[in-house]
Amino acid sequence: MNILFVADPLESFKIYKDTTFAMMREAQRRGHTVSACEPAHLSWVSGGKVMGHVRDLRLTGDEDTWFEVTQQHLVPLASFGAVIMRKDPPFDSEYFYATHLLEQAERDGGKVFNKPRALRDHPEKLAILEFPGFIGPTLVTRSADDIKRFHAEHKDIILKPLDGMGGMGIFRVKEDGLNLGSITETLNKEGTQTVMVQKFLPEIVEGDKRVLVIGGKAVPFSLARIPQGNEVRGNLAAGGKGVAMPLTAREKEIAEAIGPVLAARGLLLAGIDVIGGCVTEINVTSPTCFQEITQQAGFAVAVMFVDALEAAV
């Protein structure tokens, strides 16, 4: 099978930790051929199929020059056995447009994972609203007054933009309310942008746990991203320490309840973020942590993913 990865520039990959690279490596190990392009390389002309300026690859096994381009050509996306959308957030207008091109590629007969419509229907912060039984106290609003009332009730809160990634733009406001007004103004742009506010969960000291769900089934280990120093964020991009841990009974309960729902909608891979037994986000664009879990726990996450991909096509 020839597999196309729609992703960020290959030259930007940090292959010692990159999940897309782990997927590619496992696919090539099984004899599949691997190609790649960026969303900017997709195009469509009326009467035709969605096309991609793609590079066919051979992974070399070398850390520095980790891939060779064997061919560059313009081909229909529907000619691939599978197309895997792995472009990192933010979910901006260009990402949105790319999902529409990928959905047209599905109409051409292509098979795209995660399903483009499902990517649009599950914004990573707001997807938790569907599962209120698994989340902590949460507010979604543009209103500064709403935020003040939420803070007065819960005392210690987290504020974050809806389009951030890697912990970007996350603030904590404690009981003293210090800088709540200025933080709100920064995030809600004077009432023009929507903000998510959540009660601070002190269990963050044990880690912001990434629970991976593949084909509706949970990987048996999470990656607990533990804040370091005075940092409140556990995100690896914000300096958090990643520690692989067996799933708790609560995390299994969450995965067994949410995972099949997501899979039925065409989300082959999702990353459910859990703090203290509460779901805080559901990541569907390009969930990570494959390599960290595999290296620390010995569970081959990429093998489970490619197994699920082969079954899905």
Domain count, the chain: 3
Does 283 qualify as catalytic in the annotation? yes
Please state the φ and ψ torsions of residue 220, each to the nearest 5 degrees.
-70, -5
Catalytic: which of 233, 235, 251, 292? 233
Q: Both 219 and 292 in a single domain?
A: yes
Higher-pLDDT residue of 240, 35: 35
Catalytic: which of 86, 115, 125, 209? 125
Assign 236 a pLDDT band (cuts: 50, 70, 90). Answer: confident
Does 235 qualify as catalytic in the annotation? no
Q: Write down the pLDDT at residue 238.
A: 65
Does 273 qualify as catalytic in the annotation? yes
Does 58 qualify as catalytic in the annotation? no
Q: Write down the pLDDT at residue 167.
A: 74
Q: Both 154 and 245 in a single domain?
A: no
Q: Both 227 and 299 in a single domain?
A: yes
Range from 106-110, 145-149, 160-164 carrying the lowest mean pLDDT: 160-164
Q: What's the full length of the chain, in residues?
A: 313
Catalytic: which of 55, 225, 235, 292? 225
Residue 121 lies in a domain: no
Q: Both 192 and 272 in a single domain?
A: no
Q: What percent of the chain has pLDDT over 90?
A: 91
How far apart CA 68 and CA 169 sit, in angstroms, is 37
Catalytic: which of 160, 188, 199, 235? 160
Assign 141 a pLDDT band (cuts: 50, 70, 90). Answer: very high
Print the domain residue range for 180.
137-200
Q: Both 94 and 29 in a single domain?
A: yes
Residue 248 lies in a domain: yes
The mean pLDDT value for 17-41 works out to: 98
Catalytic: which of 103, 188, 210, 251? 210
Does 250 qualify as catalytic in the annotation? no
Q: Other C-beta atoms within 10 Å of 280: how many?
A: 23
Q: Both 189 and 229 in a single domain?
A: no
What is the chain's mean pLDDT, rounded?
96
- What DSSP line would sit under 183-194, residue for residue? HHHHHHTTTTS-
Q: Write down the pLDDT at residue 155.
A: 97
Q: Both 109 and 152 in a single domain?
A: no
- Alpha-carbon distances of 290 from 214, 228, 281, 302, 306, rounded to whole Å: 11, 21, 18, 7, 12
Is residue 35's pLDDT more than 70?
A: yes
What is the pTM for the complete model shown?
A: 0.94
Q: Are strands 278-283 and 221-226 parallel, antiparallel or unpaired?
A: unpaired
Q: Both 106 and 57 in a single domain?
A: yes
Does 199 qualify as catalytic in the annotation? no
Does 265 qualify as catalytic in the annotation? no
